[in-house]
Structure 1
Amino acid sequence: MSAQATPFKPLIGFTAGTQGDHGVAFLLRLAIWLAGGRTTRLKRTPDERDGVMPDGLLFGGGLDIDPARYAGDEAFESQIDHRRDDLEWSWMDWADSARVPALGICRGLQMLNVHAGGDLHQTLDPDIIAAWPTTALEYLVFRKPIRIERGSHLEAATGATTLDVNSLHLQAVRNPAPGFSVVARERASDGIQGIEADEPALRMGVQYHPEMLLHQPTSRSLFRYFVDRCRGNGAD
């Protein structure tokens, strides 16, 4: 009886905020591990990296993207991490040339869109924001309904056409980048909650935080779908 081959565990390079987001980084690592992958936190550009290159990229949440990158209003008050913008931009350039899959979460979705030529709403309708929770406990249980397009990667990944998600954000996709499709919208406002593209490789972005919903099968299956795509990118 021959021994079974060890399943290939793709290496997922990920980013997270640099201002104490250790909990989020842990959850991203856990999500990828549960999905059958390995992780490496990206702290240097592709040119500076030593060793094996990732089989996929995951861009997490964080501060606003510099509006200069999408011809936004640079006078608009924002919290910007220029170093992270530069780091993620360089990795997206690499991913495009290497045809490596990428998943964006919240700010990460916005980075996928901006890098490919789309833009953002720099602020949302005040009436929408006014209805959001104001305490940590309220944030943990806050949910909003979204609808998902049939036939999309997001539907295939979650097995759902509707979800209740923990989407709290002050900025959002305005115009999707060329080649990207809108695959999820908020029911109440029709705001964009998911985008994706197939070229130059799989690009998936969600405006909510599935890494904070790992108790839900739909969130775990989203990461598993992505890791499986990255496994195809690196397997023999």
Structure 2
Amino acid sequence: MKTVILIPGQRTSFDNYRLAVEAAGGRAVFTETAERLPAFAGLLLPGGGDVEPWRYGRENTASYGMDPRRDELEFALLERALAAGVPVLGICRGMQVLNVALGGTLRQDLPGHSRYEGLDRLHRVRGADSLLAALYGTHVVVNSSHHQAVERPGARLRPVQWAPDGTIEALEHETLPVWGVQWHPERLRGGFAKQGAANGDLLFRAFLDSCGNAAKK
């Protein structure tokens, strides 16, 4: 039986994530409600618009593309997953949701990290000892398509990758199977693979392995 990964939202909006989960050997299921959920072994929080700033105690100074209903759904699902010890992978916005849910804050505007002429930027990150370092080493090239970033990490979230300007590019929880990356592994695999850059499939496989191991406990 394939490992079931829950993704908040509509399948048509996040098909790249579905393809990445399937390529790693899992099965992606989608939900637009926190009620009557199917059994799932992992939660994947995908990229998208900005988190409402009130959730981290700030007024809106540069946030846009906000979706209160999406925030409500993702924060509810994340709370449930964290309480149950279900593995979580947050990607771009998903890492920011994870950070805010655990009491962290965000920088509302960050120059030099958004897409350029419609394409992801590529840049090198340095890493600390972590799951990501085990997969990619302590220096690796990743993609960038965001204008916000982690400011203060949430409780028990440890920064493990940084961009050259010091921006936090990845987080790992100190005790739970929970990870966040500011970059987009679903766009660094298959037909989106970039020569010399991280192979996104490695992260999805590691996440699926963690989900499978957690489900056996």
**Deviation (angstroms), 1:155:** 1.5
Structure 2 counterpart of 1:49, from 23, 28, 36: 36
Alpha-carbon distance in structure 1 between the residues aligned to 2:147 and 2:19: 26
Q: 1:144 aligns with which of 109, 119, 123?
A: 123
CA distance in 1, matches of 2:48, 2:102: 19
* Equivalent residue, structure 2, for 1:3: none
1:204 matches 2:179: yes
Per the TM alignment, residue 36 of structure 1 is displaced from its structure 2 partner at its CA by 1.2
- Structure 2 CA distance, aligned partners of 1:208 and 1:90? 23
Cα shift at 1:233: 1.9
Q: Give the counterpart of 1:62 among 41, 48, 53.
A: 48
- CA shift, 1:190, in A, is 1.1
The C-alpha deviation readout for 1:70-91, integer Å capped at 9, x for no partner, is 0012354522100000000100
| Other-structure match for 1:113 | 99
Give the C-alpha shift of residue 134 in structure 1: 3.8
Equivalent-residue separation in structure 1 for 2:71 and 2:168 (angstroms): 22
- Structure 1 residue 168: deviation in Å? 2.0
Gaps of 5+ in 2: none
Q: State the identity %.
A: 36
Q: Which residue of 1 aligns with 2:65?
A: 79
RMSD: 2.0
1:195 to 168, 171, 193: 171
Which residue identity lines up with residue 74 of structure 1 in the other structure? N
Q: Judging changes above 3 Å, is the alpha-carbon distance between structure 1 residues 220 and 68 closer, same or farther for their aligned structure 2 residues?
A: same
How far off is 1:10 after superposition?
Answer: 1.2
1:210–1:219 CA contact under 8 A, matched in 2:
yes
The residue type equivalent to 2:52 in the other structure is: D
Cα contact 1:61–1:105 (8 A) shared by 2: yes
Q: What are structure 1's unaligned runs of at least 5 residues?
A: 1-7
Q: Is the 8 A contact 1:9 1:231 kept in 2?
A: no
Question: Paired residue for 1:12?
Answer: 5
Q: Displacement of 1:58 after TM fit?
A: 0.4
What does residue range 148-159 of structure 1 map to in structure 2 within 5 Å? 148-150=127-129, 152-156=130-134, 158-159=135-136
Quote the offset at 1:40 in angstroms.
0.4
Structure having greater relative contact order (Cα 8 Å, sep ≥ 6): 1
Report the alpha carbon displacement of residue 133 of structure 1 after superposing the two structures with TM. Answer: 5.2
Q: TM-score, normalised by structure 1?
A: 0.83
